[in-house]
């Protein structure tokens, strides 16, 4: 009996069923091990980002470990700077809260009078209902405090895991490369090397582009809100730029907060409309000029795949998953396009050529997946 007679060729539908079962298994693994996989994934992305600098330092005969420590210190310095800026703005916003509360009280009283005229419910009954709800919220304060402490401890542990994995990924990067090459036949080694290089370049371009666009949008948002006289304009401008990392959803959340503040603190509708105009202009600039030219367009993901991966990311890893799953899908797209058996999946999540040509239309193109 020849060896070919012992080979069982499954129908294509059976292959897709097994692939779906595999994806379900991956989901449960990623959900269960999220405490480990999230910092490990972040460490891998940051290692790809700092790899060129690390190689440059090593070419100057700096020991690998010392080069890695220098790269790590640069990342920590950048993160510390961002945290310092945000913390300063948060403290400034906290100082303005009493004033905002007084203005909110005045708006609330006007709203109470409107409700009383429209429904006949007296202001006293409205306040009794609100007091009851507030008491319910306060009663669960202990649970909130416990949750905050647990989250803080988890964040510190995650940061430690991130640093450890960042160091060891760069130390053993050659061994990791050999491991990946060992998974494919020797005749495909060159192709595998090209895919690894492409994935690394695309990931690096994505991360650098995201940070650059975030910095530019922070300035544009802040200047626009300051021109309107919105309180804590820098805080809301930076916050909106950070939330803008999440495609389609983040911009609405980021613009909603200063819009609400304008409605509370300003007496004219000119200011809320002005806030909307500021974010419409900055989004037009982002979608048509910043992201296509800075983040790049080597890998294009269609809107359906983008929304799907955002929802899945949130389901698996929460908010951080909404951010991390976007570059991971871009990396998967490169893999799909270079493996014949997986090309249908690449076509499914990719864009048509006609859509790609509309790069500067700024409506369909995925802003964060280059």
Tell me the per-residue pLDDT of 185-209, one tens digit each, with 9 for 90 and over: 888 888 889 999 988 888 888 888 8
Q: Measured between alpha carbons, how far is residue 268 from residues 101, 225, 246 in Å?
A: 18, 15, 31
> pTM of the prediction?
0.74
For residue 310, tell me if it sits in a domain: yes
pLDDT value of position 354: 52
Residue ranges making up the domain that contains 56:
33-119+143-171
- Least confident segment among 9-23, 253-267, 346-360: 346-360
For residues 102 and 204, membership in a common domain is answered with no
For residues 148 and 232, membership in a common domain is answered with no
For residues 203 and 256, membership in a common domain is answered with yes
Burial of 66 (0-12, 13-18, 19+ CB in 10 A): exposed
Run of H or E residues at 135: helix 123-139
- Does the pLDDT value for residue 327 go beyond 50? yes
Tell me the per-residue pLDDT of 69-102, one tens digit each, with 9 for 90 and over: 999 999 999 888 888 888 887 788 777 777 777 7
Tell me the per-residue pLDDT of 207-266, one tens digit each, with 9 for 90 and over: 888 888 889 999 999 999 999 988 888 889 988 998 888 777 888 888 888 998 888 888
Q: Which of 249, 250, 231 is nearest to 240 (CA)?
A: 250
**Count of domains forming the chain:** 2
Q: Which of 244, 260, 242 is nearest to 252 (CA)?
A: 244
- Count of CB atoms within 10 A of residue 111's CB? 11
| C-alpha span between 258 and 264 (Å, rounded) | 10
For residues 200 and 61, membership in a common domain is answered with no
For residues 98 and 221, membership in a common domain is answered with no
Tell me the per-residue pLDDT of 104-141, one tens digit each, with 9 for 90 and over: 666 666 666 767 677 766 666 656 666 565 555 445 54
Please check whether residue 329 is in contact with residue 199, taking contact to mean a CB–CB distance below 8 angstroms. Answer: no
For residues 84 and 225, membership in a common domain is answered with no
Burial of 138 (0-12, 13-18, 19+ CB in 10 A): exposed
For residues 201 and 167, membership in a common domain is answered with no
- Does the pLDDT value for residue 51 go beyond 60? yes
For residue 327, tell me if it sits in a domain: yes
pLDDT value of position 172: 93
- Does the pLDDT value for residue 320 go beyond 90? no
For residues 72 and 154, membership in a common domain is answered with yes
Confidence band (pLDDT; 50, 70, 90) for 346? confident
pLDDT value of position 227: 92
For residues 149 and 228, membership in a common domain is answered with no
For residue 256, tell me if it sits in a domain: yes
For residue 26, tell me if it sits in a domain: no
For residues 57 and 199, membership in a common domain is answered with no
For residue 306, tell me if it sits in a domain: yes
For residues 98 and 57, membership in a common domain is answered with yes
| C-alpha span between 202 and 335 (Å, rounded) | 12
For residue 10, tell me if it sits in a domain: no
For residues 245 and 354, membership in a common domain is answered with yes
Confidence band (pLDDT; 50, 70, 90) for 286? confident
Q: Which of 211, 208, 205, 222 is nearest to 297 (CA)?
A: 205
pLDDT value of position 166: 94
């Amino acid at each position: 009996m020849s060896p070919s007679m012992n080979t069982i060729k499954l129908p294509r539908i059976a292959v897709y069923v097994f692939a779906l079962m595999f994806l379900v298994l991956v989901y449960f693994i990623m959900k269960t091990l999220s405490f480990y996989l999230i910092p490990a994934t972040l460490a891998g992305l940051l290692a790809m980002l700092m790899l060129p600098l690390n190689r440059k330092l090593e070419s100057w005969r700096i020991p690998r470990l010392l080069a890695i420590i220098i790269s790590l210190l640069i990342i920590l310095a950048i993160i510390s700077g961002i945290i310092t800026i945000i913390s300063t703005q948060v403290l400034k916003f906290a100082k303005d809260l009493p004033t905002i509360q007084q203005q909110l009280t005045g708006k609330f009283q006007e709203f109470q009078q409107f409700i009383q005229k429209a429904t006949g419910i007296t202001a006293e009954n409205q306040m009794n209902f609100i007091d009851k709800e507030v008491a319910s919220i306060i009663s669960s304060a202990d649970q909130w405090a416990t949750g905050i402490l647990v989250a803080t401890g988890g964040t510190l542990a995650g940061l430690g895991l991130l640093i450890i994995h960042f160091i060891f990924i760069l130390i053993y990067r050659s061994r990791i490369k050999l491991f990946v090459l060992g998974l494919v036949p020797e005749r495909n080694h060159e192709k595998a090397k090209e895919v690894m290089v492409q994935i690394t370049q695309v990931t690096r371009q994505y991360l650098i582009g995201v940070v650059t666009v975030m910095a530019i949008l922070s300035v544009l948002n802040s200047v626009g809100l300051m021109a309107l006289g919105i309180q804590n304009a820098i805080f809301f401008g930076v916050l909106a730029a950070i939330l803008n990392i999440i495609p389609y959803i983040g911009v609405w959340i980021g613009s909603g907060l200063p819009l609400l503040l304008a409605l509370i603190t300003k007496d004219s509708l000119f200011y809320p409309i002005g806030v909307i105009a500021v974010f419409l202009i900055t989004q037009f600039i982002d979608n048509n000029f910043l992201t296509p030219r800075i983040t790049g367009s080597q890998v294009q993901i269609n809107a359906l795949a983008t929304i799907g991966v955002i929802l899945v990311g949130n389901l698996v890893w929460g908010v951080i998953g909404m951010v991390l799953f976007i570059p991971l899908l871009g990396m998967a797209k490169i893999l799909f396009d270079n493996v014949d058996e997986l090309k249908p999946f690449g076509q499914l999540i990719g864009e048509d050529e006609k859509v790609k040509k509309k790069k500067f239309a700024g409506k369909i193109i995925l802003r964060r997946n280059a």
